[in-house]
Each structure stands twice: as structure tokens, then as C-alpha cells.
């Protein structure tokens, strides 16, 4: 039966693109440009986008096969086993949350500190996190239509300012197909993947659309739009401002806007950075707090995280915990200035997950061959195998180029593995001992069931 409220393709595209576009995306865009020669960043960005199409195809097949908001948690559990699913899901949440919150808050604090130098950077982070935490505790969400407006406005603005800047400097591609050595291109593409991180977080919406294929279509359209927008904007940034100036700034988009439109451009960009970061923080806290709540409900995290506000129906313990995690992550980033490591970390983690999604498609085609697939990738095993191979290569490239990222990733992986193997069994055992011995369902009915 048709649900009362269903999402449109417009909202699916906006959600996929919106979850991807963060203020930190532009830092990654400049890193991409820095790995390649001249003004050829667009090549790496378009390749990165095209590779994400492969991953999107794999996500689409899995999403059609197992339509659920649980996402990779269920895909990996069916394709591999429960332990792998749990370890990867927890690690993915941990790395992406710390990475995105760390970089995003760092950029935001630097930008606002530049606009209002009298107020210290960290104060801005505290205020911003308190605002978003307050909104989440009260259950206030940025309305779907407003979210659509922010995302589409941002896309239009980036394209317009990019084209305007290119026209202003009379831009011509000098050596359009000479991006430099293979290592530089591989690293550029690997970091370029960070530009698209989050496009797949739209798959939980499968339970709110009329047709599963809408999610696949929405993801593909979003990736296409983002590839073009990022390519134009990045080439424009490097055409107007020297790369060494951009790479030295935590907010290259602000430097660029000032260079093109003066103080007016800078003011406009500050507003956009604020809106983008607010949207990213808000969406992040909503998703992760719900993930923590659901994990506590299945006794994977301590039960305290399933506590609910009696007034607003929100998982308040999870939200407040995230507030403190955010404070620590952003404080450490501000203290060490190592925000670029976090970009590499998030890019590597996403590549690992995308490679595993390719493996999951292969595994599930063998384990569930008869199951109906509303979306089946054409070309047999070619796309999933390419996905596994390419994203493994990209993850290795990022981690070998940045040893700090490799170190942090290894520590996070070992910690998650130890947690899953020691703490989770204890939590489950504790729950089993607390569970009422007698079932509420009448005994007669239970006997009948057992007899069948």
C-alpha cells in the first residue's frame, strides 16, 4: 500500500549531493589540484566521480536486494559475517565522524576568526556545536525543502562564480591532457574520492521512496552534477589564485571568493560556509546519534545510549556524547593543525568501504542467487571486480602517501576490533542475564509454535 508521504527524485538528488558538499570538500579539491600539474585537476576530479559511479552501481544493487535503512550493516552481515559488518560499520562511523567534524570545525573556526578576529577560534567551535546539539536535542531538523534550497543554491552559486572567474581571467586550458606522473594522478584521484564521500548515505531513504530505482537514479545524478561542479570550481580556483596560496589556507574557497568578488565575495562565501557547515554538522549528528541509539538497542554499545528524552523523543545521551566527541576532535585538530591528515583518513576509509561493497555484490550473487534484484549491474562481475580493485588501490595510495593517516587508521582498526571481540560479547551477555526468563506470549501459543 502506498505511503502517505513519499520522497521525490529532487529530494533524493539534493540529499545525496547535500550530504557530500561540506566546507572541507574545497580543501580536498585544492589537495587534488596540488597533486597534478597545471590546471588539470578537472581530470582527476572527473575520474574520481566516474569511479564513484562504479561504487554507486554496487550500492544500487545491494540497496535493491536488501532495501533497508541499516545499509552496510546488513549488506556486510549477509555477505561476510556479523563480526565484519559490526567492525566496519563502527570504524566507518568513527573515522568519518571524527574526520569530518575535525576538518569542518577547523575550517569554520578559522574563517569566522578571520571575519571576527576578537573572538578566539575555539569559541566559535563551541558555539556552533552547542547550537547544533541544542537543535538535535529539541528534535529540530532542517526541513526537507529548506535543505533542497540550500543544496541547489550552493550548486548554482559555485558554477556561476566559477564560470565568472574563468571569464574574468580569460582562462584557457594550457596543457589539458598533461596531468603529470602516475603517482601524482593516483593520489589526486584518491583524495578526489573525498569530494564525493557521503553520496551513498542516501540509501537509508529507500524506505521513503516509491521505487527502489529512484535511489540509484538520484545517486547517479548527484554524482554527475557534483563532478561537473567541483571540476569547474577547482579549475577556477587554481586559475585565479596560485596553488601554494590555496593549499596554505584552511578555507581556499574564501581566498578565491575574495580574489574574484572582493569583500562582497568574501562575505557571501562566509555565509555559504556557515550554512554548509551547519547543514553538515546537523545531518552528521542526526545520523550518528541514531546509529548509536540503534547500536545500543541491539546491545552493541552500552545501554545508556538508548536513553530517550521524554519531552522531545530524541536520544539525548548519544547526542550529548557526540557533542563532547566533537569538542575533543576539533580541539585536537586546532591544536595540531593536522586537518589534512583527517581528509586522507576519511578518503581512505571511504575507499575501503567502497571496495568492500564491490566484494559484497560478488558474495551475495553467490549466496542469494535466486533473490529478486530490482537493480542488477550489467556486464556480469566486471563492475564489482573493478570497484574492489580500484578502491583497494586508492586506499593503499592514500595511506602510503600519508603515514600519519596510516597510523591513526591502524590504531582505530585495532581498537574497534578489540571492542567488537571483547566488549560487545559482554554487553550481550549482560542483556541476556537481565532479560525476563518468561516470555510474555502465552505458553499455549508458544508450544504450538515449537511443535510446528
Partner 1 sequence: MATHLEITESLKTFTDNYSKNERLKIMNRDWDRVVLIKATDIESIHTLTLKDGVLSLNEGASGAPDLTVVSDSETLADVFYGDINPTEPYNNGTLRVMGSEDDITRLDFIILMIWGE
Binding site for partner 1 (CB under 8 A): 1-5, 66-70, 73-74, 77-78, 141, 204-205, 207-208, 290, 293-294, 297-298, 303, 306, 308, 310-311, 313, 431, 434, 439-442, 445, 449, 452
**Measured from the CB of residue 148, what is the shortest distance to partner 1 in angstroms?**
16
Closer CB to partner 1, residue 86 or residue 195?
86
**Measured from the CB of residue 126, what is the shortest distance to partner 1 in angstroms?**
28
Nearest to 320 by CA among 351, 361, 281, 285: 285
Q: How far is CA 275 from CA 251, 262, 268, 403, in A?
A: 14, 20, 11, 33
**Measured from the CB of residue 66, what is the shortest distance to partner 1 in angstroms?**
6
Closer CB to partner 1, residue 118 or residue 449?
449
Closer CB to partner 1, residue 174 or residue 448?
448
Cell numbers that stand for 203 in this block: 540509501
Closer CB to partner 1, residue 86 or residue 226?
86
299: which DSSP letter?
T
SS3 of residue 250 by DSSP: coil
Break the chain down into helix, strand, coil percent, rounded to 5.
Answer: 80, 0, 20
**Measured from the CB of residue 226, what is the shortest distance to partner 1 in angstroms?**
23
Residues 6+ apart with CB under 8 A from 263: none
Upper half-sphere CA count for residue 276 (Cβ side, 13 Å): 30
Q: How far is CA 303 from CA 163, 299, 433, in A?
A: 52, 7, 14
**Measured from the CB of residue 419, what is the shortest distance to partner 1 in angstroms?**
18
Closer CB to partner 1, residue 36 or residue 294?
294
Q: Which residue has cell 549482560? A: 430
> Strand (E) positions, 49-194?
none
Closer CB to partner 1, residue 1 or residue 182?
1
Q: How far is CA 38 from CA 99, 340, 365, 448, in A?
A: 29, 21, 44, 75
Whole-number CA gyration radius for the chain: 23
**Measured from the CB of residue 275, what is the shortest distance to partner 1 in angstroms?**
22
Q: Are 16 and 199 in contact (CB under 8 A)?
A: yes
**Measured from the CB of residue 435, what is the shortest distance to partner 1 in angstroms?**
8
**Measured from the CB of residue 73, what is the shortest distance to partner 1 in angstroms?**
6
Closer CB to partner 1, residue 78 or residue 110?
78
**Measured from the CB of residue 243, what is the shortest distance to partner 1 in angstroms?**
41
Closer CB to partner 1, residue 335 or residue 449?
449
Question: 257-262, long-range: CB within 8 Å, 24+ apart, which pairs?
Answer: 257/161, 259/165, 260/161, 260/164, 260/165, 260/168, 261/161
Closer CB to partner 1, residue 182 or residue 310?
310
Q: How far is CA 410 from CA 197, 344, 347, 404, in A?
A: 20, 13, 15, 10
Amino acid at each position: 500500500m502506498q505511503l502517505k508521504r513519499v520522497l521525490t527524485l529532487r529530494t533524493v538528488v539534493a540529499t545525496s549531493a547535500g550530504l557530500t558538499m561540506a566546507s572541507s570538500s574545497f580543501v580536498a579539491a585544492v589537495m587534488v589540484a596540488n597533486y597534478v600539474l597545471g590546471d588539470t585537476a578537472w581530470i582527476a576530479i572527473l575520474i574520481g566521480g566516474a569511479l564513484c559511479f562504479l561504487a554507486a552501481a554496487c550500492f544500487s544493487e545491494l540497496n535493491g536486494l536488501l532495501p533497508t535503512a541499516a545499509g552496510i550493516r546488513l549488506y556486510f552481515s549477509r555477505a561476510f559475517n556479523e563480526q565484519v559488518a559490526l567492525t566496519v560499520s563502527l570504524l566507518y562511523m568513527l573515522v568519518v565522524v571524527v574526520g569530518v567534524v575535525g576538518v569542518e570545525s577547523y575550517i569554520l573556526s578559522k574563517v569566522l576568526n578571520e571575519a571576527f578576529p576578537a573572538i578566539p577560534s575555539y569559541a566559535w567551535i563551541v558555539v556552533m556545536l552547542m547550537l547544533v546539539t541544542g537543535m538535535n536535542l529539541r528534535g529540530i531538523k532542517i526541513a526537507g525543502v529548506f535543505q533542497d534550497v540550500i543544496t541547489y543554491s550552493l550548486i548554482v552559486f559555485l558554477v556561476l562564480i566559477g564560470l565568472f572567474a574563468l571569464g574574468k581571467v580569460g582562462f584557457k586550458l594550457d596543457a589539458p591532457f598533461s596531468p603529470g606522473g602516475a603517482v601524482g594522478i593516483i593520489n589526486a584521484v584518491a583524495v578526489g574520492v573525498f569530494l564525493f564521500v557521503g553520496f551513498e548515505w542516501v540509501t537509508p531513504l529507500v524506505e521513503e521512496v516509491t521505487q527502489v530505482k529512484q535511489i540509484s537514479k538520484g545517486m547517479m545524478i548527484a554524482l554527475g552534477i557534483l563532478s561537473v561542479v567541483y571540476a569547474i570550481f577547482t579549475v577556477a580556483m587554481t586559475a585565479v589564485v596560485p596553488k601554494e596560496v590555496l593549499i596554505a589556507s584552511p578555507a581556499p574557497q574564501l581566498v578565491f571568493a575574495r580574489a574574484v568578488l572582493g569583500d562582497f565575495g568574501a562575505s557571501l562565501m562566509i555565509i555559504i560556509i556557515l550554512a554548509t557547515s551547519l547543514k553538515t554538522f546537523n545531518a552528521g549528528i542526526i545520523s550518528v546519534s541514531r546509529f548509536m541509539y540503534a547500536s545500543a538497542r541491539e546491545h552493541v554499545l552500552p545501554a545508556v545510549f538508548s536513553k530517550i528524552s521524554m519531552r522531545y523523543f530524541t536520544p539525548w545521551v548519544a547526542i550529548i556524547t557526540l557533542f563532547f566527541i566533537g569538542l575533543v576532535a576539533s580541539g585536537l585538530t586546532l591544536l595540531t593543525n593536522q586537518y589534512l591528515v583527517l581528509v586522507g583518513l576519511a578518503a581512505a576509509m571511504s575507499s575501503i568501504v567502497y571496495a568492500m561493497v564491490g566484494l559484497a555484490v560478488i558474495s551475495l550473487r553467490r549466496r542469494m542467487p535466486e533473490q529478486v534484484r530490482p537493480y542488477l549491474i550489467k556486464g556480469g562481475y566486471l563492475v564489482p571486480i573493478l570497484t574492489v580493485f580500484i578502491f583497494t588501490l586508492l586506499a593503499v595510495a592514500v595511506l602510503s602517501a600519508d603515514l600519519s593517516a596510516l597510523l591513526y587508521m591502524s590504531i582505530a582498526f585495532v581498537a574497534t576490533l578489540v571492542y567488537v571481540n571483547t566488549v560487545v560479547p559482554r554487553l550481550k551477555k549482560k542483556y541476556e542475564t537481565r532479560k525476563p526468563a518468561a516470555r510474555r506470549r502465552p505458553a499455549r501459543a508458544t508450544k504450538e509454535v515449537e511443535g510446528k
